[in-house]
Amino acid sequence: MPGQLFDRYLRANRQTSRPSGRLWNPAADVYRTHDGWIVKVDLAGIQTADVEVVIDGPLLRVSGLRRDSVCGEGVSHYQLEITYSRFEKVIQFPCSIEHAAVTRDYHDGLLILQLREEKECAEETRGRTQAAGK
């Protein structure tokens, strides 16, 4: 009888306790380099085919979907803490990165983007940074 009550409790709370319905906003680090930017986005468990990177003016948008590849026929969950859903991270830069050359690498759960920018944007940003430091 106690086991049946526990099973009924788990079934009743399945919808409210499952995090997969939440929106997901992954963590990101942004670094300034001498010729552009490096952006690291924490995307553990993501297949690269499920990631889209879009640049629009000064905005970098990384979006996609983390899927649960373990769950399937005959598998029920006991505890779920990892969010499986669509995600989106938007980063605004101090100048347009529209014409930046982007290289993309994914390893150890991190998407690493290197943005090599146009010379004028690099100089414009550095000038603002130096002026702010005075």
Per-position pLDDT tens, the chain of length 134: 455 555 554 444 443 333 444 578 999 999 999 999 999 999 999 999 999 999 999 999 999 999 988 877 888 888 888 888 999 999 999 999 999 999 999 999 999 999 998 665 645 555 555 555 55
73, part of any domain = no
| List of long-range contacts for 119-127, beta carbons under 8 Å, 24+ apart | 121/95, 121/96, 121/97, 122/35, 122/36, 124/95, 125/32, 125/94, 125/95
* Model pTM score: 0.71
How many separate domains does the chain show?
Answer: 1
Whether 96 is covered by a domain: the verdict is yes
- Provide φ and ψ at 33, rounded to 5°: -120, 175
Domain containing 54 equals 2-68+79-133
Position 19 scores a pLDDT of 41
Burial 97-119 (b: 16+ CB within 10 A, else e): beebebeeeeeeeebebbbebbe
